[in-house]
Structure 1
Amino acid sequence: MEERAKALLQRRLKGEAVETRWTALREGNVPQPLVVRSDEYSVDPTGGRSVSEIDIQQLREGVLADLGEVTGDQSREFDKRLALSLRKRLPILPAEAGRGDVWDYLTFVVFPDLTVSRFPAKNRDRFNGKSRRHALRRLWRRATVLSPEYLGGPSGLAEDEFAQILERQTTSLSPRISDAVASAIVSSGLAGGERREFARRLMKIITYRTGMYWLDDEDSETLSRFVDACAAEVTPSGTSS
């Protein structure tokens, strides 16, 4: 993956400001990007350099450039490009990436137009920074854990397959294991509901067989053999031996 921008302390949108903007979105009024009062957000006071207005402006401009002419209704390509762009350009610390109010700022202040172009302002989870289904957070997470080839195109995973990998601790904490699972899913030769069921059962078997064993200590070849062995237990009919 490309080298990420140097991590900076991100802005955190306060609850009242979140609700004001969410109400506006639900009424069909998209907040103007980058317009925010200084009393509507806070920054971690523990030290380090905070993002500046210039940093935020450059983040937005860079992401828009990466998206090009692709719009939210071209969901798979939009998600792939936005995921890779956020991974590359968002200078965020891992601890802050786990904060909902940081993603709230990015959603409602930096990228309100992009967010609503992908998801209408109906499902609160897509606009709730704490949610795993958040419009931006889920994409950043994908690009952090999985290799670019699995984010879209011929080898791209489907939404349910992303969830199977990223919502389980065994895989979500290890890019190497996640890639091995993604490879097994893509190379299964299945499609549609059969592939979806294959992915679900594969993850159940992997979760059961790993238990407390920390797989990431193994080399990539060993991990691939382990995942392949688990995949061999799953049949196209969705039953395991």
Structure 2
Amino acid sequence: MDAGTEALLQRRLKPEAVELRWAALQDGQVPAPLAVESDEYTVDPTGGTAVDDAQLSAFRAAVLAELDGVRGDATREFDHRMSLALRRHLRILPAEAGRGDVWDYLTFVVFPDLVISRFAPKTRERYRGDSRRHALRRLWRRGLVLSPRFLGGDHGLAEDEFVQILERQTTSLSPALSDAVASAIVGSGLTGGERREFARRLMKIITYRTGMYWLGDEDSEALSRFVDACAAEVTPSSEPS
């Protein structure tokens, strides 16, 4: 979300509406984007400014502009651009970002055409809003935790590397540490399977070394030194001892 932009209360798609749209997708019927009845969703009643139709339309338009015609079949580039677009334009509160029904609304109402272009409606995990493998939620999470330079392009991480960083609590809760790990992976000079194995072993060592201790984000240089020291321990046969 752009700095200084107010977060909005997002809409939450009701379970029965989710099931109807899921069934339609499986039958090859893609719901028209932004088409929804007022009784199909709710909004947090506790206060704050709720997103309206015009803002949702503008949000979708901004994301489409960022994608610039790239669709889900160009998987790596689509994920890169969508991560950046959600980072910049999704005006969401952290608490609401943890709700599956919010992501259900974004999936089945705001971006059904984009999600189905990325994942065929066969694996429900990609369409279930409370799943960490959700088509959009995982990309928003990348943009939240990692710096833009690691989301794609020459310094972009591979899918397995994103998983290694973002599905471990040690790194997923610390953007500075995540960036330090990403930098070590990209700077390793390795490619393909060797880099993938390096990333896995590096995360294994970092997880072992940190244990139950919290690493703060205050000193990025100290975090980089810590990650570099862990990376120096990685060899093709190394295991934490």
- Same fold flag (TM > 0.5): yes
C-alpha distance in 1, partners of 2:4/2:12?
21
TM-score normalised to the size of structure 2?
0.96
Letter matched to residue 20 of structure 1: L
Secondary structure of 2:104's match? helix
What whole-Å deviation, never above 9, does each CA across 1:186-239 have from its counterpart, x for those lacking one?
11111111111111111111111111221115401000000000011111x242
Report the number of matched residues: 240
Which stretch shows the higher mean deviation, 148-157 or 107-116?
Answer: 148-157
Q: How does 1:144-155 map to 2 (within 5 A)?
A: 144-155=144-155
**Aligned counterpart, 2:207:** 207
Judge conservation of contact 2:176–2:217 (CA < 8 Å) in 1. Answer: no
Judge conservation of contact 1:5–1:90 (CA < 8 Å) in 2. Answer: no
TM-score normalised to the size of structure 1?
0.96
**Aligned counterpart, 1:239:** 238
**Aligned counterpart, 1:87:** 87
**Aligned counterpart, 1:181:** 181
Letter matched to residue 47 of structure 2: G
C-alpha distance in 1, partners of 2:103/2:228?
36
Secondary structure of 1:215's match? coil
Judge conservation of contact 1:11–1:42 (CA < 8 Å) in 2. Answer: yes
**Aligned counterpart, 1:170:** 170
Judge conservation of contact 2:63–2:82 (CA < 8 Å) in 1. Answer: yes
What whole-Å deviation, never above 9, does each CA across 1:103-129 have from its counterpart, x for those lacking one?
000000000000001111111111010
Judge conservation of contact 2:7–2:93 (CA < 8 Å) in 1. Answer: yes
Percent of residue pairs identical? 72
**Aligned counterpart, 1:139:** 139
- 1:2/1:52 CA distance change after superposition, 3 Å: closer
- 1:217/1:121 CA distance change after superposition, 3 Å: closer
Letter matched to residue 100 of structure 1: G
Secondary structure of 1:42's match? strand
**Aligned counterpart, 2:223:** 223
**Aligned counterpart, 2:55:** 55
What whole-Å deviation, never above 9, does each CA across 1:91-111 have from its counterpart, x for those lacking one?
100000000000000000000
Letter matched to residue 196 of structure 1: R
C-alpha distance in 2, partners of 1:132/1:199?
20
CA RMSD of aligned residues (A): 1.3
| Displacement after TM superposition at 1:4 (Å) | 6.4
